[in-house]
Structure 1
Amino acid sequence: MENVSDLEQFLADTWHDIANLVRESAVYVDHAATECLHWHTGGRMYSFLKDAGAVSVYELAMYNFRYVKVQNCKKAVIISTSTNPAFYQRTVKMIMEKNAFDCCTIVTAAHPTVLSYEDTVPLEDRVDYIKLKRDVRSWMRSNQQSQDCLVTILFRPIFISPIDDGLFVTPPFADLLSPLNSELVKNSECAVDHLVSLFNSLFTYLNMKEDIYSMGKFSEYVAEKLEILPAAVNRRNNLAGAKKKGVSLIFVDRALDLCTPTSNNTESLLAKILCTLPHLPHHCNDVAINMSPLFCGSQELVEVPGCLASNDKSLMNILITKKQKEVLIAMNKMLIDIFATKENLKSKLATRISARSLEKLVNKFKDIDNLHAITESSKKLQVVLGIIQALTSEKTSQLDLLISLEKLVLQNIAVSRDSTSVLGQFSNIIRTREKRGLDTDNILALLMHIYALAGTEIQFSPQQEQQLKEAIADAVFEDIAKLNENPVSNKMSVYQQTLLLFGVADAQSRKETSAKVAEHIMNVLHEVAQQRAFLHDYTSLMSKSSSQEIVQRVSILQQLLTDIFHPDRYEIPDLHQKSPSLLSAGFNLFSKGRVKHYPCDNDWVIIYIIGGVTPEEVREAKEIISLFNPNCQVTIAGSRLLNPLDIVDKFLLSSMDY
């Protein structure tokens, strides 16, 4: 686990460095940095900064500072992951003008080479943040008598949230997607420059030379950016010939497989938790757990929620890799152990464990007078409560129905092929969705699942597609009408928020808007189906090992890992390696896609999925790694943790034209 330890040390050193800056300061932290520190500290971000000597800690957002003035404090520390110059010109300016700070330190994850503060600023001024320092100093002076203001700007590579020992996500890039349309690649250029800059900082710290691979058109673009990054070229040249550790960094387009992340049929309990519990505010990877069962009646709500982030990475590993029955047994034993060590309360080991039996055990904590005993075990109790709330959620019946529909779709498509009637069936399901207890956004996720699964293997009939489009238009029409009648809801879905943005009221406008939305949805579904058309070996996500076996869905990641670690070392035409030199680049013209070095030749393999990764993919990956037992460590990574509705939001709803 040497490479994992090195990564943990990288994170520890980065945050320890920042902690040394915050003493006697008002600290402002943006959402992505908060999420990085949240996972690094096991959910104790606030106490980490307070223990380091921070006077106060604030969320870094403009709406938070209109009336906030920090009393009896002359120092400010701003921790930001933004590369957007407008952020500094607005938010930082507002903080400085509302307070009388005489010392300001900005810790930014935007390296000078990616923070284009102003296009008109000479390069030498940008490289040392000179223009930004000058502006911050002028904002500080506008609110105080003294002209002696100290401004320091420091680059620190804040971008990684460790979920467990084999998984990390990158909150600053939660919205970075591999687009369905390759013409949109350039729209993400700034974010890609930022991402490769931070990966370069990671490898610089670790003193590693990377081999870069890609699968998918957007990933190839990202890989090329990292390959030609001047700082990365210099680092690799300096390491040439030296004894060094190697790392294989594999970028994979999420868009190649939108079938897996839109599936509810998962053995990973973490996936069920992400589908049923709300996210922590401004977080993409952790959930808000109701802690009131520990302290009061279930009708009352404890204002501060619990979460899953923990310094004990084995807890997350259990939630990702173990089957539900095994997780329940492990949690039951953990609770009994807590009782035995803290209160000498005897409890028999149950033979059949359910969410309800766990709930009864948790309720016993109300009888414990020793608050310290609860506090010491609070993280374990938060995880247990998260499991209970996910498994007893009112959403579980809908999830069960969606899972059964998924299974039906898979077998129907596999058996019927081009004669499949699955779209006709779904048109009927859309029209009867309320009777079935299904929400429209879950049906949209299932439609994306169908088209991603079908790919270019299955051609749906134009008649069925027209019928489907009409059913979608009718559903959207009805949903807009209901929202206009009851517009206010604390738990409004992204789909509902999107419909409200159209701002239509009369029936004729609703009809036109509904037809427009349905047309957009069908166009996106067709794009989803085409994503693997250019691949050689990974065009299908269906597998049948024998004529007696039923067809199984198999993800792109499963297929890729199986090929990478197979002892026969197959050629992988769909995995492209960036050429590290002009000579090999010339040779690569004759062997495009042929991997000359093998990814597992290095002692560490990182597979980064651009657009996000699901707990189920990580579970499947760990099974394959365990099966082949390669002589290298493998880390799965991605922009964020995903659930099916995230895919609907990012790939379908956010691209709508209002």
Structure 2
Amino acid sequence: MSTVEDFTHFPLQAWEKVKSKVKRAVVFMDDGCAEALHWSGGAAAFLEAGARNIKQFSSFEACSVNEPKAVFVVSTLLKGRTVDIIKDIISVSHFQYCVVFTSVPHSAHLLANKVTAEMDGNPVFEQFEEKLCEWMGNMNYTAEVMYAPVLFAPISQQLIVTPALAHLFPLLSPDLVTINAKRPEKKKFASLNDVDMHSLPLELQIQVKSLVSALNFMFEITATREETFAVGPMSRVITGELANHTQAKNRRKTALNKASIIFVDRTMDLTGAVGHHGDNLVEKVLTVLKLLPGHVTDVQVDILELTNLQRTPHSQNILAPGCLAQNQSSTARSLWEVMLTSKHKEAVMEVRRHLVEAASKEKLPVKMSMGRVTPEQLCSYVKLFRSSREALESHCGVLQLGLATAQTLRHPSLARWDACLAFERLLLQTLGDSDFPAVLRQLLPLMNPRGGEDSSSSGVRFREDECGPDELILLLIYLYSLADEAQRTGRDAEEEEELEKLERELIGALTLVITQETELSPLLQKLTGERKVSAIKSVIAPFAKLALRRC
């Protein structure tokens, strides 16, 4: 059987093909691939392989005359905006050698170009190579385009994620309506379980093909013959595509190892995604600290306390943030594993132990404290390293994890976390004894603008344990995903009308809560499509008040 190490290290092997081309090159990388690299050795891996620089994949980037080689690493199709950006960068630079890596397989490029027949070679990639030479201004210059499955980010020995496919989500009921709208009456699907790969929107088909191709690479590297199981409509589509993958059929004949792979639609367990489970440190860190720009799996750690700078409104713009991904230090990696897999109390104590051991090793004046671990205590240990640059560099991984823990423990939203956890437990107790409207009614008292109705004008500060719009939305999702667990009653028309009235009241109250926020959270920006409260206030506030009056 393949070992855990085989599956942990295969994402690093996916990058070897890219690293072999980066010597004396400037590398341009999009967010999806950059995040995968972030957990697979980081920028240091490319610089050690000979890269001259690593830049954002943006039309506003360029290279000088003495930088003739470029490597582009993207997680998207070589079409549309991606092509425009590559052309923009090449047009204002002086390249003589361009290499493009895409994590989208050639078969998906054929699909995007509406080519259904099997073709020899990689004609789409070959045509793009000609375009690269044309943009460089000389058809005798060198251009290469190839596939590299650099989608996987090894978060830990037990967890691998695909940041570039973060938006790949299971099909929902509205998707069935959209799919059926384009099909003849006699060929409409009765349910999501009947949907097949070819009926999916093109963009979704390409994402599935990218995932399947990357999974096949994983099984090739680990010499594995997979036995797949699917739970949910989307998982069935993915397993079907994997079963029919051309290269997979050849691999299974010679694979030495065997593994059972279970695909589960996220919609089968929404409570696991939105619930506040309360007993894991990393879960809290990822929830309360801000994400790194362009990332979906790592957060910003304020490292000001590792310096002698004074905290001012502008100090955050001076220092680049720290993070959770610590690839260079084995000690930091072992601490990260403990934080990820242990209970909250054990993980926090382990963070303290690592900080004390690091300080003792560097002969810093550390005083070991017993009893409860506090954020002030952790910060006091971290500050000891300010006086020694060598000590700071040797233990920077552990120090960043220590600061992430301290900043989480003292974060004001942690009180709201505990309040949500308590309310979720109350809802679970109530679900078995009451009908759904009765359980839903318990959310109404929470649907109040934080700090009271006049908080924006009177300057009243909201209590730290008051739920904001984000928490209220998560609680609603949590509750509706468990609706079938509520006590079943034979609803008549009057009860259905009562439920609809209650839902309108909740919608109106939640909308008013949103409009009275001072700024929109990232979640609300995604849901509303707006960046400022003022942009939505004039539109939805009147409807919210009307909904409340009708109730």
Question: TM-score range, shorter-chain basis?
Answer: 0.7 to 0.9
Alpha carbons 2:26, 2:69 under 8 Å: kept: yes
Alpha carbons 1:270, 1:319 under 8 Å: kept: yes
Which residue number in structure 1 is paired with residue 353 of structure 2? Answer: 333
Which residue number in structure 2 is paired with residue 431 of structure 1? Answer: 448
Is the counterpart of residue 60 in structure 1 residue 78 in structure 2? no
What amino acid does structure 2 have at the position aligned with 1:204? E
Which residue number in structure 1 is paired with residue 409 of structure 2? Answer: 391
Which residue number in structure 2 is paired with residue 418 of structure 1? Answer: 435
Is the counterpart of residue 38 in structure 1 residue 54 in structure 2? no
Alpha carbons 2:366, 2:384 under 8 Å: kept: no
Superposition pairs of residues 276-287 of structure 1, within 5 angstroms = 276-287=288-299
Aligned residues: 494
Q: Distance in 2 between matches of 1:506 and 1:309?
A: 39
Q: Secondary structure at the match of 1:129?
A: helix
From the superposition, tell whether residues 26 and 360 of structure 1 become closer, same or farther in structure 2 (CA, over 3 Å).
Answer: same
Residue of structure 1 aligned with 2:147, choices 138, 151, 155: 155
Q: Secondary structure at the match of 1:280?
A: coil
Is the counterpart of residue 473 in structure 1 residue 485 in structure 2? no
Which residue number in structure 2 is paired with residue 648 of structure 1? Answer: none
Runs of 5+ consecutive residues of structure 2 not aligned to the other structure: 180-194, 453-462, 490-494
| Cα offset, 1:18, TM superposition | 1.9
Residue of structure 2 aligned with 1:404, choices 399, 422, 428: 422
Q: Distance in 1 between matches of 2:240 and 2:547?
A: 37
Residue of structure 2 aligned with 1:444, choices 434, 455, 473: 473
Q: Distance in 2 between matches of 1:515 and 1:130?
A: 60
Alpha carbons 1:477, 1:511 under 8 Å: kept: no
From the superposition, tell whether residues 457 and 229 of structure 1 become closer, same or farther in structure 2 (CA, over 3 Å).
Answer: farther
Residue of structure 2 aligned with 1:511, choices 514, 518, 542: 542
Q: Secondary structure at the match of 1:114?
A: helix
Superposition pairs of residues 160-239 of structure 1, within 5 angstroms = 160-181=152-173, 183=176, 186-187=200-201, 188-236=204-252, 238-239=253-254
Alpha carbons 2:94, 2:136 under 8 Å: kept: yes
Alpha carbons 1:26, 1:70 under 8 Å: kept: no
| Cα offset, 1:309, TM superposition | 0.7
| Cα offset, 1:121, TM superposition | 11
Residue of structure 2 aligned with 1:48, choices 45, 49, 52: 45
| Percent of matched pairs sharing the same residue | 23
Q: Distance in 2 between matches of 1:456 and 1:222?
A: 29
From the superposition, tell whether residues 433 and 76 of structure 1 become closer, same or farther in structure 2 (CA, over 3 Å).
Answer: same
Is the counterpart of residue 75 in structure 1 residue 69 in structure 2? yes
What amino acid does structure 1 have at the position aligned with 2:43? Y
Is the counterpart of residue 307 in structure 1 residue 323 in structure 2? yes
From the superposition, tell whether residues 27 and 515 of structure 1 become closer, same or farther in structure 2 (CA, over 3 Å).
Answer: farther
| Cα offset, 1:206, TM superposition | 2.2
From the superposition, tell whether residues 265 and 10 of structure 1 become closer, same or farther in structure 2 (CA, over 3 Å).
Answer: closer
| Cα offset, 1:201, TM superposition | 1.7
| Cα offset, 1:353, TM superposition | 2.0
Which residue number in structure 2 is paired with residue 12 of structure 1? Answer: 12
Superposition pairs of residues 316-395 of structure 1, within 5 angstroms = 316-366=336-386, 368=387, 370-395=388-413
Q: Secondary structure at the match of 1:33?
A: helix
What amino acid does structure 2 have at the position aligned with 1:213? F
Q: Distance in 2 between matches of 1:108 and 1:134?
A: 16
Q: Distance in 1 between matches of 2:539 and 2:261?
A: 53
From the superposition, tell whether residues 348 and 160 of structure 1 become closer, same or farther in structure 2 (CA, over 3 Å).
Answer: same
Alpha carbons 1:504, 1:510 under 8 Å: kept: no
Describe the superposition over 1:158-190 as per-residue Cα deviations: whole angstroms up to 9, x where unpaired: 111111111110112111111222626613222
Q: Distance in 2 between matches of 1:515 and 1:195?
A: 46
| Cα offset, 1:403, TM superposition | 1.4
Describe the superposition over 1:392-415 as per-residue Cα deviations: whole angstroms up to 9, x where unpaired: 00111211211121111111112x
Describe the superposition over 1:143-169 as per-residue Cα deviations: whole angstroms up to 9, x where unpaired: xxx442100112222111111111110
Q: Distance in 2 between matches of 1:357 and 1:346?
A: 11
Alpha carbons 1:433, 1:440 under 8 Å: kept: no
What amino acid does structure 1 have at the position aligned with 2:310? G
Is the counterpart of residue 297 in structure 1 residue 310 in structure 2? yes
Describe the superposition over 1:405-446 as per-residue Cα deviations: whole angstroms up to 9, x where unpaired: 1111111112x2327622112122213654462211210110
What amino acid does structure 1 have at the position aligned with 2:38? H
Alpha carbons 1:430, 1:472 under 8 Å: kept: no
Alpha carbons 1:163, 1:316 under 8 Å: kept: no
From the superposition, tell whether residues 297 and 327 of structure 1 become closer, same or farther in structure 2 (CA, over 3 Å).
Answer: farther
From the superposition, tell whether residues 178 and 97 of structure 1 become closer, same or farther in structure 2 (CA, over 3 Å).
Answer: same
What amino acid does structure 1 have at the position aligned with 2:50? G
Alpha carbons 1:265, 1:406 under 8 Å: kept: no
What amino acid does structure 2 have at the position aligned with 1:303? L
Q: Secondary structure at the match of 1:113?
A: helix
Superposition pairs of residues 128-147 of structure 1, within 5 angstroms = 129-141=125-137, 146-147=138-139
Higher relative contact order (CA 8 A, sep 6+): 1
What amino acid does structure 1 have at the position aligned with 2:278? T
| Cα offset, 1:233, TM superposition | 2.0
Alpha carbons 2:504, 2:547 under 8 Å: kept: no
Runs of 5+ consecutive residues of structure 1 not aligned to the other structure: 518-658
Q: Secondary structure at the match of 1:431?
A: coil
Q: Secondary structure at the match of 1:195?
A: helix
Q: Alignment RMSD, CA only?
A: 2.8
From the superposition, tell whether residues 48 and 469 of structure 1 become closer, same or farther in structure 2 (CA, over 3 Å).
Answer: same
What amino acid does structure 2 have at the position aligned with 1:339? A
Superposition pairs of residues 587-602 of structure 1, within 5 angstroms = none
Which moved further from structure 2: 462-471 or 318-327?
Answer: 462-471
Alpha carbons 1:103, 1:150 under 8 Å: kept: yes
Which moved further from structure 2: 183-192 or 114-123?
Answer: 114-123
Q: Distance in 2 between matches of 1:9 and 1:419?
A: 47
Alpha carbons 1:423, 1:465 under 8 Å: kept: no
Q: Secondary structure at the match of 1:209?
A: strand
Q: Distance in 1 between matches of 2:546 and 2:162?
A: 37
Describe the superposition over 1:268-295 as per-residue Cα deviations: whole angstroms up to 9, x where unpaired: 1111011100011111101010000110
From the superposition, tell whether residues 479 and 149 of structure 1 become closer, same or farther in structure 2 (CA, over 3 Å).
Answer: same
Superposition pairs of residues 556-595 of structure 1, within 5 angstroms = none
| Cα offset, 1:29, TM superposition | 1.0
Which moved further from structure 2: 301-310 or 120-129?
Answer: 120-129
